[in-house]
Amino acid sequence: MSRQRAKLVVGNWKMHGRMQENAVLLTEVASGASALRNGVDVGVCVPYPYLAQAQALLEGSVVRWGVQDVSAHAQGAFTGEVAAEMTLDFGATYAIVGHSERRAYHHETPELVGAKARRALEAGLTPIVCVGETLDEREREATEQVIGAQLDAVLLMLNEEQAARIVVAYEPVWAIGTGKSATADQAQRVHAFLRKKLAEKCAAAAEVPLLYGGSVKPENAQELFGQQDIDGGLIGGASLKSKDFLAICQAARTVLQ
Q: Which residues bind ligand PGA (CB under 6 A)?
A: 12, 171, 176-177, 213-216, 234-238
Q: Given the residues 108, 137, 171, 191, select the one marked as catalytic.
A: 171
Q: Can 99 be counted among the known catalytic residues?
A: yes
Minimum Å gap between C-beta 238 and ligand PGA is 6
Q: Given the residues 99, 101, 133, 137, select the one marked as catalytic.
A: 99
For ligand PGA, which residue has the nearest CB?
236
Alpha-carbon span 46 to 31, nearest angstrom: 18
Minimum Å gap between C-beta 242 and ligand PGA is 15
Alpha-carbon span 253 to 247, nearest angstrom: 10
Which residue in 128, 115, 104 sits closest to 43, CA to CA?
A: 128
Per DSSP, the residues of 177-238 read TTS-PPPHHHHHHHHHHHHHHHHHH-TTGGGS-EEEESS--HHHHHHHHTSTT--EEEESGG
User: Considering beta carbons, is residue 12 or 202 the nearer one to ligand PGA?
Assistant: 12
Which residue in 157, 155, 137, 135 sits closest to 146, CA to CA?
A: 137
Alpha-carbon span 157 to 136, nearest angstrom: 28
User: Considering beta carbons, is residue 213 or 232 the nearer one to ligand PGA?
Assistant: 213
Give start and end residues of each alpha helix (H) in 128-183: 135-139, 143-155, 160-163
User: Considering beta carbons, is residue 8 or 202 the nearer one to ligand PGA?
Assistant: 8
Minimum Å gap between C-beta 206 and ligand PGA is 24
User: Considering beta carbons, is residue 41 or 171 the nearer one to ligand PGA?
Assistant: 171
Minimum Å gap between C-beta 71 and ligand PGA is 20
End-to-end CA distance of the chain: 16
**Which sequence positions are flagged as catalytic?**
99, 171
